Amino acid sequence: MAIEKVREYFRQYGMEDKILEFDVSSATVDLAAKAVGVEGARICKTLSFKTPEGGCILIETAGDGKIDNRKFKDTFGFKAKMLTAEEVVEFTGHAIGGVCAFAIERDDVKAYTDVSLKRFETVFPACGSSNSAIELTCDQLYEYSHAEGWIDVCKLPEAAE
């Protein structure tokens, strides 16, 4: 199971006991927010995209963030094209609903962390299953996911006036 791989991965940081497992699904931002007990924006969703070279880019973003296609293309030099569910498992080892940038074993998968997360002290990414999460600071998320860099490729909902 992917969650066991992630638990083993976090053992090197002494963080394996920090993984939360829920009796309910946390497969979507809304479900994860309910399971954790926080606003949806603090859920770190990990989105996966194909690269022209046949690899994969993972973008860790705030739960309320949406990919801005112009910013994506300006940052990476190609159009955003998400992976299929099967490709996500192939590249990450994690099924949709539990995708994270932890315990990735392929060299052609690169993770990036979006600045939309920096609004929060801590965020909650999944841990390889559709009923798990871990609370991390943004710096921990960046470090543990071996991010290539902080990027700005998301748009956030307009604040209610």
Look at residue 160 in the predicted model and tell me its pLDDT: 47
State mean pLDDT over 41-63: 97
Domain range holding 22?
2-154
* Domains contained in the chain, number: 1
Structural domain contains residue 159: no
- The answer, as to whether pTM is greater than 0.85, is yes
Indicate which CATH number applies to the domain containing 105: 3.90.960.10
What is the distance between the alpha carbons of residues 18 and 56, in angstroms, rounded to a whole number?
28
State mean pLDDT over 25-37: 95
Structural domain contains residue 160: no
Q: What is the pLDDT of residues 61-105, one digit of tens each?
A: 999 999 999 999 999 999 999 999 999 999 999 999 999 999 999
Please name the helix (run of DSSP H) or strand (run of DSSP E) that holds residue 151, with its range, or none. Answer: strand 150-151
Beta bridge mates, 142: none
Contact indicator for 20, 36 with CB cutoff of 8 Å: yes
